[in-house]
Amino acid sequence: MFTTALAQREKTQPGGLPLDLFAAIESLKKELNAVILAHYYQEPDIQDIADFIGDSLQLAKAAEKTNADVIVFAGVHFMAETAKILNPDKLVLLPDLDAGCSLADSCPPEAFAAFKAAHPDHLVVSYINCSAEIKAMSDIICTSSNAVKIVQQIPQSQPIIFAPDRNLGRYVMEQTGRDLLLWQGSCIVHETFSEKKIVQLKIAYPEAEAIAHPECESSVLRHASFIGSTAALLKYCQESPTQEFIVATEPGIIHQMQKLAPNKRFIPAPPLNNCNCNECPFMRLNTLEKLYLAMKNRTPEITMSEEIRIAALRPIQKMLKMSL
């Protein structure tokens, strides 16, 4: 009896968590018929336990197609909201409800509603990095993977509001030649990269290619030999003959880059100051421990009104059709 009790105690950590979180999460996945979706910016342990890893577009498509009863979304709030919008009858869990997004927060619904009302002739194309309320006010949703393709499909005569990211909007304007009315939002991570330090890295590593996410400022993008979404950056690194890359996006993606191209070198682009602010503080709120507890306790759950969900669903569905 004593031996059995001791063995049981040894299987858990002091806080009551299992010693083998990977095994415990796999067990809960079977029990709940759950799927774990993770963004590339999550910590390595979460990426390794996930059933599907992707960027915003890939994750939206995975959420739309899943047959699981429970979706555990290891990402930030707007991503889990998108999964709930697409799957109203499924339980959608987010390991930490405080895992928000600085870009989504930079576009408050009341202020955006007034902005939209001031330009009634404009079609609203919103980057998926926004709240369900902003999606509900949009005509089409886009991601960094398909933003250029989406805008190119809209008639030239149609004025467009592009929200909330001004840097992605500016990039889309350059690629399409369209004059977009930009909401002045931005991502704190992608705006923190230092042009000066990237130039210094290019001098220090003359054989390295600089690659960047289009949410970066134009001063950073002009030093990049390739610009693309997280998924596009990952694919480019695999296919390019280059052996060294300076990576100007959230460094969580480097875990996948290193796994898929183990013989190549990936150098994270440095921020303005000597800090770790090139890491998204919201993405990093999710941990393996919180993911386990969310599955065990079936909470925190993503909820929203049916009115908002239906209104937000239409522009997402339009995006998915236009992205085929």
> Known binder of ligand: residue 223?
no
Determine whether the annotation assigns residue 129 to a binding site. Answer: yes
The token pair at 267 is 């150098």
d(CA 77, CA 80): 5
The rounded distance, in Å, linking the Cα atoms of 53 and 39 is: 6
Task: Kindly state the helix (H) or strand (E) to which residue 42 belongs, with its residue range.
Answer: none
- SS3 for 256? helix
Measured CA to CA, the distance from residue 117 to residue 161 in angstroms comes to 11
Is the CB of residue 135 less than 8 Å from the CB of residue 85?
A: yes
Q: Is 109 annotated as a binding residue?
A: no
Residues 6+ apart with CB under 8 A from 126: 134, 135, 137, 138, 140, 141, 142, 162, 163, 164, 315
Q: Is 81 annotated among the ligand-binding residues?
A: no
Check the annotation: does 127 bind a ligand.
yes
How many C-beta atoms lie closer than 10 Å to residue 8's C-beta? 9
Whether the ω angle into residue 270 lies within 30 degrees of 0, i.e. cis, is no
Asked if 159 and 183 count as a contact pair (C-beta separation under 8 A), the reply is: no
Q: Is position 236 annotated in a ligand binding site?
A: no
Query: Tokens representing 216?
Result: 């970066």
Residue 289 marked ligand-binding: no
> Is residue 142 a known part of a binding site?
no
186 known member of a binding site = no
User: Which is nearest to 170 in space by CA: 151, 157, 188?
Assistant: 151
How would DSSP label each residue in 87-138? -TTSEEE-S-TT---HHHHTS-HHHHHHHHHT-TT-EEEEESSS-HHHHHT-
> 230: annotated binding-site residue?
yes
Closest CA to 129 of 141, 112, 146: 141
Contact 215, 144 (CB under 8 A): yes
Angle at 304 between CA 301 and CA 307, to 5 degrees: 160
Tell me the binding residues for iminosuccinate: 39, 56, 127-129, 144, 213-215, 230
Tell me the binding residues: 39, 56, 101, 127-129, 144, 187, 213-215, 230, 280
Tell me the binding residues for [4Fe-4S] cluster: 101, 187, 280
